[in-house]
Amino acid sequence: MKFLIVLFSLFTLLLGDNILKIATYNVENLFDLEKNGYKYKEYIPNSKSLWNKKNYKIKLQNISRVIKDIDADIIALQEVHSLQALKDLRFTLKQNGLYYQYYSIADKKNTAIKVAFLSKVPFVYAKELSVTLSYKYRNILEAKFRLNNNDLYIFINHWKSKSGPESMRITSAKTLRKRITEIGYDKNIILLGDFNSDYEEYIKFKRKRKHNDTNGKTGINHVLRTLKLTQKAEDLKYEKDNFYNLWYDTDASKRYSYIFRGKKEALDNILISQPLLDKKGISYIDSSITNLDAKYLFKKKNIYRWQVSRAKIPKHKGKGYSDHLPVMAKFRVK
């Protein structure tokens, strides 16, 4: 049997390149049922809010349904409360026929929600990038993979929400940029997650002045340098130290992962370094970025988020998924 598996793997490699699907998904407050750790009041286990075993299992099953439909080789997650919550999600996925052998979470800082990932392929290491000591900032998770003798660095982000000014998101962007400078812009690098920033955040600033405490500078566009690369991937030329936002590689109507007051927004992004566009080693497959806009993820014209009542004591209804849509892209590994 082992001989047949090895033979099949060799035959697959001889036929052509491997395809790697990478995704990002904000799962909206996946809290466990443990009493320890900081939690939002509506997620205190077994309280009047009805965050209990029944609703927790429904949440796990619903999120697992989405992740199974994505079926990514590596999926970055945001808003995971703890390692226990990540393990429970992984176990639920396994029960539903999707097994992720490898996983990690950025849990060194006691924030309520954290970033994590699940992977079908092994990683060389996973470590946290500390975004200041303040608990107002979530740490970034860095993971290195080795694929067919090619190194791939993935950075999972969840930047400050729009409840804070742009200077807070710039703080996270600068932490990221410092680390990328150490690695080198000539490496295969993917930055993904919930940046709480549009792919053209610098333009939206003109209409949302309350966020602009940085004289028009943004973390995603200016610090990470995505301004110069705005055309189709197959037409791009190398721009030193710039990242390409994959949203530009799909139709404008598909560029969203979130809906706020009826308006579609692209808070979740996948950015890639220039070597991933050169068609060598590991390379992005043109026009492969997409959101998962399955019908069950919508309720009327809104994304079908996890349902919690707005009563004086918020109560979980045991329905819904997340307030974000997943985003995914494909890469070829030669």
**Are the beta carbons of 233 and 222 closer than 8 angstroms?**
no
How is the beta sheet containing 268-273 ordered, strand by strand?
A: 125-129, 140-147, 150-158, 189-194, 268-273, 243-245
Which distant-in-sequence residues (6+ apart) come within 8 Å of 85 by Cβ? 30, 31, 32
Identify which of 252, 256, 199 has the alpha carbon closest to the alpha carbon of residue 224. Answer: 199
DSSP assignment letter at 138: P
Residue showing tokens 């590991």: 282
Angle formed at CA 270 by CA 269 and CA 271, multiple of 5 degrees: 115
What's the pTM?
A: 0.92
Identify which of 149, 152, 151 has the alpha carbon closest to the alpha carbon of residue 13. Answer: 149
Digitized pLDDT (tens) for each residue of the chain, 334 residues in all:
544 444 444 444 444 579 999 999 999 999 999 988 888 999 999 999 999 999 999 999 999 999 999 999 999 999 999 999 999 999 999 999 999 999 999 999 999 999 999 999 999 999 999 999 888 999 999 999 999 999 999 999 999 999 999 999 999 999 999 999 999 999 999 999 999 999 999 998 776 677 889 999 999 999 999 987 776 666 666 567 899 999 999 999 999 999 999 999 999 999 999 999 998 999 999 999 999 999 999 999 999 999 999 888 999 999 999 999 999 999 999 9
**Are the beta carbons of 49 and 315 closer than 8 angstroms?**
yes
Which distant-in-sequence residues (6+ apart) come within 8 Å of 248 by Cβ? 199, 229, 230, 231, 232, 233
